[in-house]
Amino acid sequence: MNTKLSCWMLVVALSASMMACGEDESPRGDDNVDADAGLESDAGDAGDADAGDEPDAAAPDVDDAPDVALEPDVNDEPVEVDINGVWAAKMVTSGVAEVPVVGESQSDTVSILRMDISSDGQNLTVTTETCDVTIEGEAAGVAPTIPDALVNSLPITERGGTFVDGNLVLPTIYEVRGAQNFDDLRNDPLPEDAEDPRVYDQDGDGNPGITVSVEGFISGDIYLVQRSSNALVGSQTDDGRIEGRVTWSDEQSVLGASNEILVTLQPQSEPNSDPDASFFEMVSVESSVDCAAIASQTGSLFTR
């Protein structure tokens, strides 16, 4: 059955691409991606909403970019940012669910990323590797965990964007995980049956789709297909970082679970209404810094 985002759902914003870029430095090979696996980008629309296109409805408008930059000190000159090179990034997507009896519950998905950026004038090519994904918070008495097999199955991705006068825009991008071969990636119904030929075992654990684990008064694994979108709009800060807001949407179809009770415990969730609750932060690092080093140094790399 199709539902909106559950609090144990995975959301990986800057890795929202199923197209491998072929970088040899990543431990993930091209075998992780089918040529028709789900990726679609709004190239050139900078995240603007299209009438009648619900997955893109909440994407940011570049004409109304969020004011996320820190106010400069009058005695300090802003750091000039060279966008080219390797960046460590932290992205947080925040969802709020209404849980029976418990009430409102917030759950934040935290993604740690390695981004390799090259520019051609103002246009960017952003190649991203997912280093780590965690979910903070719980709902209905269960806490989600993202298995390493799922994180490792996320391929290196590539997306376009712009960096103009210190303002970064990564337009809306769409991804489907656990299924492939869609005619219309944005709008085709997600598979509802594990026997649907579009479903595949992306994380290689022997179960259909992707697997998310939960622990609590009920523990087990949930097998599902997920469609997500995200767009990022941010700006340069005085210390050379780039910070901004993430606009995202999500949809999922549960194919099964190791414990059938888990299928019924799915509180409906929406993106947090606080626009600052879903955010990203990027800091430039040496090109030799790999994903493992970024994941191990999150406490010192990021300010939030």
The pLDDT confidence band at residue 155, using thresholds 50, 70 and 90, is confident
Q: One-letter amino acid identity for 204?
A: G
> Which of 134-138, 178-182, 250-254 is the least confident region?
134-138
What b/e readout covers 265-300, taking b as 16+ CB neighbours within 10 angstroms?
bbbebebbeeeebbbbbbbbbeeebbbeebbeeeee
- Report how far Cα 53 is from the mean position of its chain's Cα atoms: 19
pLDDT of res. 73: 43
Single out the residue of 243, 198, 276 nearest to residue 89, CA to CA. 243
pLDDT of res. 274: 94
Encode pLDDT of 64-98 as tens digits: 433 333 343 444 566 778 999 999 999 999 998 76
Q: Rg of the chain's alpha carbons, rounded to an integer?
A: 19
Distances (CA, A) of 112 to 15, 227, 299: 10, 20, 11
**Nearest-angstrom CA–CA distance, 21 and 10:** 22
| pLDDT of 212 over the 80 cut | yes
Question: Which tops the pLDDT comparison, 146 or 283?
Answer: 283
Q: Where are the domains of the chain?
A: 2-192+223-301
- Report how far Cα 299 is from the mean position of its chain's Cα atoms: 20
Beta-bridge partners for 73: none
Question: Tokens in use for 8?
Answer: 């144990």
> Which of 19-33, 160-174, 275-289 is the least confident region?
19-33
**Nearest-angstrom CA–CA distance, 78 and 30:** 40
Encode pLDDT of 255-287 as tens digits: 999 998 888 766 567 899 999 999 999 999 999
Give backbone dihedrals phi and psi of 183, rounded to 5 degrees, phi first.
Answer: -75, -40
Question: Tokens in use for 85?
Answer: 């090179």
Q: How many residues does this entry show for the chain?
A: 304
Question: Which tops the pLDDT comparison, 19 or 208?
Answer: 208
pLDDT of res. 263: 81
pLDDT of res. 78: 62
The pLDDT confidence band at residue 53, using thresholds 50, 70 and 90, is very low
Cβ proximity of 219 and 153 under 8 Å:
no
Question: Tokens in use for 110?
Answer: 């935290």
What mean pLDDT is reported for the chain?
Answer: 78
